[in-house]
Structure formats: C-alpha cells, structure tokens
Amino acid sequence: MEKKMTSILDNIRKDRKISDYGGRGIGRRIKISSSQKGRYVSYRTPIREQPNSIALDATIRNYLKNTIYNKTEIDFPIHFNRYDLMDKIYEYRAPLALFFVLDSSASMHYVIKQMTDVILSLHREGYRKRDKIALIIFRGKEAVVLQKPTVNFKTAVNKLKKIEGKSYTPMAAGLKKVSELIRVEKLKDRNIIPIVFICSDCGANISVKHPDLIAQIETDYSLITNELKELTKKLSKQKIHMVVLEPKKSYATHALGVHTYS
C-alpha cells in the first residue's frame, strides 16, 4: 500500500498547471503563479492601480517603447508614469494537504493500525516539502477531526494509534467534515493542493440527511448512496483529488461489517 500511495502522490506532483499569465509550470510540484511569493518568472500590466511589486526591467522596456513611440529623445532622469509600470509575477511550488478520512468502524480496526505505516512512509518527503496532513475518523453516528492540518506527521500517527473501533459507518459525515476542513484551509492558503484519501470497506450505513436512519433494507442504502454521490460531486467541482482505499479482506471476513446492499 505504501508504494501505491507514493506513486499516486508522485503523479499528482508531476501534474502541470497553466497559470493565469499564460506560462506553464512543470516539475515535481504543481507550480502556481502568484503576485506575492516565489520566483520572479514574468510580468504583466498591474491589475490594480498600484502594482504589488514593480518589475523594473519590464517597466524600463515599457517606458522606452512608449517614449520612442511618442518622441525621439529620452529625458534624464527618467520619470515613469503609471502607464509604464509593470507588475511582477512569481511562481512557486505549492504544498500538498493530505486529508485522511478513515473508517473507524469495528470491521476496520486492524486496517486503521496499518495506516500508521502508510502515513509514516510519507513522512520524510512530506516534511521536506512542507506538506500538511489531517486526520478525520468516522464511526458510530458522527465524524470527528482527530488532527487538524499539520506538518508534524508523527503527532498525527500517535493519535491514530489510540483509536478504537465502533459500530456503524457514517461515511457521509466523514465527507462533509473533510469538505468543511478543506474550506477553512483554503482560506489560509488558496493555492494549497488538497488530496483526500478515504480508507473504508465502503459499508456506509448512516446518513447525515436522515440522522435517525440506520440502514437495514435496500431502499435505506439507496438513500445513503445518493447522499454520497451528492457529496462527492461537490468535492469534484472544487477540483479536489480523491483516492478511495478499499482494503482486501480474507474470504472468511470479506463480508464482515458490510451489508449485502451497501
């Protein structure tokens, strides 16, 4: 599982994003254009009346072009007007935010313990690249934020080791909780790249829309399925990467905790 996780993250890091100034960033990290931080790569006409950071080289070239167009002589010292000013565009490699949404129902108890090894395998590169990790568990009838986004992977793992399994699988509550957490994190850094890992046997049987419902028959599970589809569509529209990790079980326990219609 560790190799698969690393491979997934590498594919996302190697992705390329066309920035708003028409350049293209390629590399181990998705490169984002910014007006405030990173490496100076290009310039543009200021969006606001006052530029955030003046691109002096581009401003001088623009001044010379405008001066020669209007007259033949250049006056010294040079006086720029607002039509000469050009704004810097920076480019930086955006960090990843890894959101682990973990099924902590009784049937997933041993799988949760294995997830600590997976997270630790990502620790070295995550620390070097300043990636963040967040943990959300769903069990019983609710989802709980076990660890808010942090760069300290070991703290998150230590909290995960203390988890005990409970009955029921409120997956919808887990998806809703991660959506809220991503929204808050985006307010802090709008360029952060969220990746959601859902680790579950996919036996969802608790609804958020219908809190008194405990799925037992096929129509109950249909309601929960439709609710999950709505939540995943919302996450998809926000261009959030999602990966579902469904553990393999032995023949003797493959149906443990999972209803026929789920």
Q: What is the DSSP string of 13-67?
A: HT--EE-TTS-EE-SSS-EEEESSSSEEEEEE--SSSS-SSB-HHHHHHHHHHHH
Using the predicted structure, report yes or no on whether residue 251 has a pLDDT greater than 50.
no
Q: How far is CA 250 from the centre of its chain?
A: 32
**pLDDT tens, position by position, 151-179:** 888 888 888 887 877 778 889 999 999 99
Using the predicted structure, report yes or no on whether residue 13 has a pLDDT greater than 60.
no
Q: How confident is the model at residue 19, as a pLDDT? A: 44
Would you give the end-to-end CA distance of the chain in angstroms? Answer: 24
**pLDDT tens, position by position, 124-138:** 665 556 788 899 999
Is pTM beyond 0.95 here? no
What average pLDDT does this structure show over 8-33? 50
Using the predicted structure, report yes or no on whether residue 218 has a pLDDT greater than 70.
yes
Q: How far apart are CA 92 and CA 54, in angstroms?
A: 18
Q: Which residue has the higher pLDDT, 187 or 26?
A: 187
Q: How confident is the model at residue 20, as a pLDDT? A: 43
Using the predicted structure, report yes or no on whether residue 17 has a pLDDT greater than 70.
no
Pairing label, strands 193-199, 96-103 = parallel
Q: Which two tokens stand for residue 261?
A: 């219609």
CB 86 within 8 A of CB 43: yes
Residues 6+ apart with CB under 8 A from 75: none
pLDDT interval class at 252 (50, 70, 90):
very low
Q: How confident is the model at residue 14, as a pLDDT? A: 56
Calculate the alpha carbon distances from 98 to 46, 60, 143, 194 in Å: 34, 44, 17, 6
pLDDT interval class at 25 (50, 70, 90):
very low
Topology at the third CATH level for domain 95-245:
Rossmann fold (3.40.50)
Q: How far apart are CA 73 and CA 81, in angstroms?
A: 17
* Domains in the chain: boundaries: 33-91, 95-245
